[in-house]
Amino acid sequence: MTGMRGGEKVLLAFLELFPQADLFTLVYRPDQMDPVFQKRRVTTSFLQNLPCGKTLYQYFLPLYWELMGGFDLSSYDLIVSSSSACAKWVRNPKQILHVCYCHTPMRYIWDLFDDYFGKEAKAPVRWAARAFRSYLQRCDRKSNEGVTRFLANSNEVKERIQRIYGREAEVLHPPVDVDRFQLRNGKGEYFLVLSALVPYKKIDLAVRVCTKRGWPLWVVGKGSEEKKLRTIAGLTVSFKGWAGNNELPEIYAGAKALLFPGKEDFGIVPVEAMACGVPVVAFGEGGVLDSVQDGVTGVYFHQQTEDALEEAIDKLEKIEFNPQTLRDRANQFSKARFLFKAQVYFRRLYGIKPIGEEEGRQTL
């Protein structure tokens, strides 16, 4: 718990469903988290007390299996893990009901190993990753013995869970706070990228295309690729750094379209853009298939190449999008909808009739 990203926002929503729940995490930085967490009991691993544990925790990855196994959860009736890495690795010898909300199986030991630990990674990091990869994969598979049910945040992740773990999952899309965004006025002045600047996001495609065509592009975000991206960017590309939550509505409102060239687990940013009436140009694979509708709320391209992205933007310029249609689509992923579906899921899991469900009639 070191920053308010998508997974932490899901955790906040689960706390509304389970207001008395205790929290367990490897490390916790209260100054980087929503104040709500300060009102909760948070238990951390001994990594919290190491000199660089709270800031360089990634380098302790080979220890995560033992660290997560150190938590004693035997006195609880229900375990809910929100996991994109190792949260589901908690030991469960008493076979307590354990529901894992899986954002994805660990990207960096499964599908995206080369993106994280390829030739651009530092040699010691690359060597260590190769040495420990098979061990971490065994740990990840073994942890499934303690998971009773899987929830996936998209159909893409549902497929990964089945392929990697051999387990079935139900899809529960993550909550998006669409209510803090308003429909924009006008068409917008620039193309927008809002992302961590890391290799698998493929931000270089957007930078190269907009530089080539002289299109204005705002790049909002920071990351390891920033220096490289600046070297290939032309005069029409502006790097804005990270933006606070209060700045995002105005940034979206000024955009002609959101460019989304990476393959994501789900992708909250496209939903936020649509909530503002901003169409999305997206690589047509991954979680975005659950949210963006080709030709209705955006345009897909099907190869991660400059030519494919450029062609998709040209296609987008010829379509007249209905802002209200985009907004209506975004509303299908609202926080209220997440909370309703989640309470239905857990009540049915315990054999309790969901609130608002009539005899002989099912709601969502």
Q: Give the total number of structural domains in the chain.
A: 2
- Residue 257: closest CA among 220, 290, 226, 282: 282
- Residue 261: closest CA among 205, 217, 317, 311: 205
Domain boundary among 129, 144, 171: 171
Residue type, 106: M
Together in a domain, 152 and 70: yes
Together in a domain, 25 and 105: yes
Together in a domain, 292 and 310: yes
SS3 assignment, position 182: coil
Together in a domain, 310 and 219: yes
Together in a domain, 136 and 263: no
Q: What is the tens place of the pLDDT at every residue in 291-303?
A: 999 999 999 999 9
What average pLDDT does the segment 167-183 reach?
Answer: 95
Domain contains 356: no
> Which domain does 308 fall in, by range?
178-331
Domain contains 353: no
Is it the case that residue 93 has pLDDT exceeding 60? Answer: yes
Domain contains 72: yes
Residues 150/345, Cβ–Cβ less than 8 Å = no
Q: Are β-strands 217-220 and 190-194 bridged in parallel, bridged antiparallel, or unpaired?
A: parallel
Together in a domain, 149 and 223: no
Domain contains 343: no
The values of phi and psi at residue 135, to 5°, are -65, -45
Residues 193/219, Cβ–Cβ less than 8 Å = yes
How does residue 360 score in pLDDT terms, banded at 50, 70 and 90? very low
Together in a domain, 135 and 235: no
What is the length of the chain?
364
Domain boundary among 119, 150, 171: 171
Residue 165 is classified by DSSP as I
| Stretch (H or E) spanning 298 | strand 298-301
Matching residue, tokens 């099912």: 362
Q: Residues 160, 331, 16, 103: what is their CA dihedral angle, to the nearest 10 degrees?
A: 10
Residues 237/219, Cβ–Cβ less than 8 Å = yes
Integer Cα distance of 256 and 202 in angstroms: 20
Q: What is the tens place of the pLDDT at every residue in 53-80?
A: 888 888 888 899 999 999 999 999 999 9
Together in a domain, 151 and 193: no
Together in a domain, 188 and 166: no
Q: Which pLDDT belongs to residue 77?
A: 93
Together in a domain, 270 and 161: no
Q: Which pLDDT belongs to residue 362?
A: 45
